[in-house]
Amino acid sequence: MQYPVSGGRGGRLSASSGATATAVVQLSMVGVRHRGSAASGLGVTVILLIGACAGPPAPDQRAFEEQPAAGIAFTASGDIGSTPEAGATLAQVPVLGAEFHIALGDLSYGDPGEEPAWCEFVTGQVGAGFPFQLIAGNHESDGLDGHIDTFAECLPERLPGMVGEYARQYYVDVPADAPLARLVMISPGITFDDGPWSYADGSERSAWTRRAIEGARTSGIPWVIVGMHKPCLSVGNYECDPGPEIADLLVAAGADLVISGHEHLYQRTAQLGHGPRCESIAPDEITVDCIVDDGDRLEQGAGTVFATVGTGGTALRDVHFDDREAGYFVAWSGANAEPSWGNLRVGLSRSSLDVDFVPAVGAFTDEFGIAAVDTSSEPVDR
Ligand SMILES: [Fe+2]
């Protein structure tokens, strides 16, 4: 397999083709669900950059207009491959001012033995030495399309202070010297060489996850973001493979944002939270009382937002508008709904979590923010 060194911007926006490149832009508004800023200056800026150059962006183009005040930004996406769309999405990472990237699993879709070549494809876009953080997807967790351990050798942990097992189950606080967020990366529903990993109630991994989240709170770290390859809630093809118990644990423990891949589309839930009439967000039926806030300006502490960003480059799939879980979602994009590849950009500051889906190919955008609760007068329990 040949791995292109530079991404083909302006690639064909076809769900069935990630390889052929034309300038056709397919914008289907049918079924597009989006309550964010559909034509934000953010998206327009990036699209213009993409359209204006054929190679990697020049250094003077890399300044991003909306840097968070006194904060940092990172990007995330999964389900990548080596398509022109993958090249464009990877090339977008430095353009967005990311200090690191979280690859949400399903990396190369290539053959075993090709891991180093794919790593070079990645570093050719994001730069050698750039922190390109991995969590395993089902395509490489047990060696099907290359092995996660081999990917982890050529795209190693580069954020200081990691706790746990890189690419499988770990957490790291960013930035290390004055943390704004704890990133908790877990693998529910993923099969490694030692079998499927369970995060059911009572499991060791469930307890580890709860300790990681609650430990961030007691340390005074403002934000907790959980990454896991497979989502529980989805309007795509899959069921709740991670198991409903871990999804409920993330809500109960107070994760602010959960990011996933696996479904080859973008989808974002309302802020979901437990309460007297919502004991579980378990899928297959909508419990309206679990929906705390279906807007774009949210407040921390009320619940958890689940976003799936399986838009890293592989062929997109359809959104199922009539899915039983559709009522939990406030934004989506897929092969049949404004198809777009790109990254989630997460801006972190003490006062807010600012999240954008930014297209690298396509025109769909999504934007939401979570305002921090004011803890300035509260003692920090260390
Ligand atoms: Fe995938």
Percent of the chain predicted with pLDDT > 70 = 79
Instruction: Give a yes or no: residue 182 inside a domain.
Output: yes
Residue 78 Cα to ligand 1 middle (Å): 7
Tens digits of per-residue pLDDT, 123-133?
A: 999 999 999 99
Q: Sign of the C-alpha dihedral, residues 9, 73, 217, 257?
A: negative
Give the Å distance between the CA of 292 and the centre of ligand 1.
30
Alpha helices in 96-243 (DSSP H): 115-126, 148-154, 204-218
CA of 263 to the centre of ligand 1 (A): 6
Residue located via tokens 């942990």: 157
Question: Is the backbone peptide bond immediately before 156 cis, with ω within 30 degrees of 0?
Answer: no
| pLDDT higher than threshold 70 for residue 109 | yes
Q: How many domains does the chain have?
A: 1
Residue 92 lies in a domain: yes
As a residue count, the chain comes to 382
Q: How far is the CA of 381 from the centre of ligand 1 (A)?
A: 40
Nearest alpha carbon to residue 122 among 143, 101, 141: 101
CATH number for 195: 3.60.21.10
SS3 content of the chain, % helix, strand, coil (to 5): 20, 25, 55
- Nearest-angstrom CA–CA distance, 233 and 231: 6
Q: How confident is the model at residue 140 (pLDDT cuts 50, 70, 90)?
A: very high
Query: Is 42 within a domain?
Result: yes
**Within a domain: residue 337?**
yes
Would 59 be classed as within a structural domain? Answer: no
Domain of residue 278: give its range: 33-54+70-371
Measured in Å, residue 139 CA sits from the centre of ligand 1 at 7
For residue 243, is it within any domain? Answer: yes
pLDDT tens figures, 79-92? 999 999 999 999 99
How sure is the predictor about 282, in pLDDT bands with cuts at 50, 70 and 90?
A: confident
Instruction: Specify if 63 maps to a domain.
Output: no
Ligand 1 center–CA 300 separation, angstroms: 30
E strand map for 177-286 = 181-186, 191-192, 195-196, 223-228, 257-260, 266-269, 271-272
28 belongs to a structural domain = no
For CA atoms 373, 287, 241, 189, the dihedral sign is positive
Distance of CA 261 from the midpoint of ligand 1 (Å): 7
Q: What is the pLDDT of residues 224-255, one digit of tens each?
A: 999 999 999 999 999 999 999 999 999 999 99
